[in-house]
Structures are given as structure tokens and as C-alpha cells.
Amino acid sequence: MIYLKTAEELLLMQEAATLVSRTLGEVAKWVAPGVTTAKLDTIAREFMTDNGGRPACLGYMGFPGTLCIEVNDTVVHGFPSDYALRDGDIVGIDTVVELNGFNGDSAYTFAVGDVDPKTMQLLRDTKEALYRGIEAAKEGARIGNVSNAVQTYAERRGYGVVREMCGHGIGRSMHEAPEVPNFGRRGIGPILKAGMCICIEPMINLGSKNVTIGADGWTCKTKDHKPSAHYEHTLAIMPGETRILTTFDYIKDALGDRFI
């Protein structure tokens, strides 16, 4: 069932989305060579709880962290660990916060130090694919329009678009209907209606679209071990407009001229 939010519920969605955005902005201050992903996880958890939120990923179906950590060839759902970031790494950070009964979800892929130019271009193009999907997410359009916009932009640039993972609806639960794939045909899927909240999150690989799932049952990596990038916003479909509830502005403030 797709839940349409009331005006009052959308205000609560905005508050949760703002807190998850601020959390990623706080984490961004610490992304650097030598910092462990476990340290980043602790920073995020403490920031959420200090600001009245609940780390929604922590304990979700047994997931052990506040953050999903995506270093280099990890696509999604990597665990925080004692791994210390290295110069030349990329690290995607995906997280969800619950605040006042509603959830905000966002992801951003960071460059650590001096990153290979082709990988940096992957980051830029994956972020642009996110915004192409957002442009297609209009009241009265179908989910397939969003999916096709992401896929077309990415594949025309020679990237692999992950099939096994997708965006989703969001509200009182972090994952609600409908699913929002990053591939598909225009004109198919549920119609976007005012009051719907969805997350669009392209997961784009520098090489093949194929992925593997680790023995932990969570960690998704590229099969060819080439880098993967991941960006995500939470959106609200409004009468006549689409509102991006999350923002990367806090990350931009933290990174300054290193923001891409």
C-alpha cells in the first residue's frame, strides 16, 4: 500500500530529512585518510541521538551500524569497521534517521584525498543521474519515468546500473511502497501522486552492472571489483511541484572547495 502524507505529516518528514542531512554534514567533517569507518559511525550515531533522533539502520533486520559504509567497490550495505580510509578511496555513506515517528534517508559518496579522475567523474555523473531522476519525478508521472531517466543518463556514459537494489517509498517506515528502480521504461509503474514521499538513489558502477552479496548477507559489491557510487535524496510529491526534503548543503559547507 502506498501511503499519502497529510500536510502535517509532510512537515514531520521535513524535520527528519533535515536531521539526516545535518548528520551527513557532520560526518563529512571527518572523512579523511586514516579515519576508520567505525569512527564515522560513532560520530553519526551520537549526532542523531544528541539531536533527538533514532538511528533507524542500527539493528534493522540485524544490521550492526548507524551508517551503511560503501568503500570503493562496495555498492551498498557495508558494515562500519576498523578499516582506516586511505588516500584515493571513495566512500559512500547511506543512513536513515527517525524523528518524531517519521524517517529521513540520504546517501552521499565522498572522495578521500587524491582520487583517480575516472572515479571522480563517476561520482559527478552518479550525482547528476540522481537529479535527472528527480526532474522526472512529477505529480502524474509514473515511477518508470524516474527509473528510465536515471538509466538513460548513466548508460549513455558507459556505466553499469545496478538492478538488484533500488529506491523506495518512505514515511513512518524507512522502506515503504513503491519501489523506485534505477532502470526501466517510461510510462510504467505506479503513478506519482501528491502526498507521496519517495527516495531516489542511483547506484552506478564504473564497470559491469553485476554485483555479489557477501557471506554476511548484507555487503553488496561490484562483481568486477570496480568502483561504485551512490547518492540519495528523500522527496515529497506536492501539488504542482516536487520538493527535495534532504539537502547536500551541509556537506557542501563542511567540504568547501572539495565538494563535488
Does residue 42 form part of some domain?
yes
Domain residues for the domain of 252 are: 7-258
Q: Say if 34 falls within a structural domain.
A: yes
The answer to the question of residue 171 being in a domain is yes
Which H or E run contains 248?
none
Which one, of 141, 244, 134, 198, lies nearest residue 2 by Cα?
Answer: 198
In a domain, 2, yes or no: no
CATH code for the domain in which residue 140 is found: 3.90.230.10
Mean pLDDT score, 56-85? 98
Q: Is the pTM of this model over 0.85?
A: yes
Q: Convert the pLDDT of each residue in 14-50 to its tens digit.
A: 999 999 999 999 999 999 999 999 999 999 999 999 9
pLDDT, tens digit, for every residue of 199-249? 999 999 999 999 999 999 999 999 999 999 999 999 999 999 999 999 999
- Domain membership of residue 164 (yes or no) is yes
Report yes or no on 1 lying in a domain. no
Q: In total, how many domains does the chain have?
A: 1
